[in-house]
Structure 1
Amino acid sequence: MIESIDFLRDMPMTASSNAMDEFDGRCNCLAARQAARYLTAVYDKALQPVNLRATQFSILHKLANHGPLAIGELAGVMAMDRTTLATNLKPLERDGLISIVPGTVDRRAKNASITKAGMARYRQAFPLWSAVQGKFEGAYGERKAATLRHAMRAVLATGFEPWAEAASE
């Protein structure tokens, strides 16, 4: 990692500063992560009254609307690596909002499903999500928000495989 920025040390100070300024303005990852952190905080705050975080709400939504899903399949639809998903599933399972059971075909596989308590919490949270969603779209613009969602979903189809196993050397 440090080796990758060695070229900055050899540049004159003004050129180095310009390269860093350009990074801030052009880095797709930084811009997306900043916006994601900002929106996550907004949605987390809105969902606080029902003791859910935005990611937990999204997981409940997927399970409520798509039925039980294998953990790998859920990770795929959430665009998360399995380890991060597992971290997010633990409090939902602990609180009885989801159940994780062995698969029916392959007992080694795990399936996640929403419980009655989870569905009740999801129904409590949905109006809170809807209100913050409307507030954001009112401030940002409904058409701009739709365009933003479309653009972010298109990123998922760029062909990168961020969670693929590294090829052995």
Structure 2
Amino acid sequence: MVVLLSDHATGVELRLVGYQFPETRGDAYDDNWLVVAATVTTPEGSWSFTDPCLLTDEAREVSVWLRAAASGAVGVTAPDRDGRLWPDTWFVEPVLGFSLAARSDEAAVIRIHLSSEAIPPWRRDDSADIYQYAVDVMVEKEALLHAADHWDRALASFPPR
């Protein structure tokens, strides 16, 4: 299953590939890392990454956050006093994060924060701070709910071990 957040110019496709360690190792922490594959398309260009960046419990937070954003329960995130944007939802590995950039009655602008292995190849030499590279995607609220449902279906194959 793929979760696709996209508008006419920008898109982020997330897919769960599998556990980082297919065989359990007897370590509840290491046994629960999930590999995420992503394809990102922006007006600047397109790129892909694959990284073990979410724990199984963290992965469940993604659909919860998408549903909350669709329902209006997530507030718009403004830049801090230094002009930096921080995600509302972030994870142990600082590769992905999510925040709400704007909302209307019909749609929301989802900001996907990308760091480390997830930033575009042409920006990897930059000294960009963590989570400061972001992709904004305008998504209708129904599409957010659909993406959350797809994510949950994909997660069903990857229970906590």
User: Is the TM value for this pair above 0.5?
Assistant: no
Q: What's the TM-score, normalizing by structure 1?
A: 0.28
Higher strand share: 2
Higher relative contact order (CA 8 A, sep 6+): 2
Q: What's the TM-score, normalizing by structure 2?
A: 0.30
Larger Rg: 1
Higher helix share: 1
